[in-house]
Amino acid sequence: MDHGGVGPYELGMEHCEKFEISETSVNRGPEKIRPECFELLRVLGKGGYGKVFQVRKVTGAN
């Protein structure tokens, strides 16, 4: 079964796990996310609109 590919890479589904997404699994509560909730690890890239950072969440549930 062909699921398409991205560039030279083929995307196989044999190692994927199905997960039903619902409002309760995505929106887990009233936690407010702020920049202080994260530890900056490194810059992944820079562009015309800003930087992309790799971060680690340091407060609350993951």
Handedness of CA 24, 25, 27, 32 (dihedral sign): positive
pLDDT above 80 for 10 = no
Query: What is the residue-averaged pLDDT of the chain?
Result: 79
pLDDT above 90 for 55 = yes
**How confident is the model over 20-46, as pLDDT tens digits?**
777 666 666 677 888 999 999 999 999
Number of domains within the chain: 1
Specify if 62 maps to a domain. no
Domain range for 36: 5-57
> Residue 13: what pLDDT?
75
Specify if 34 maps to a domain. yes
Specify if 18 maps to a domain. yes
> Residue 25: what pLDDT?
61
Specify if 22 maps to a domain. yes
Average pLDDT of span 3-30: 68
> Residue 56: what pLDDT?
93
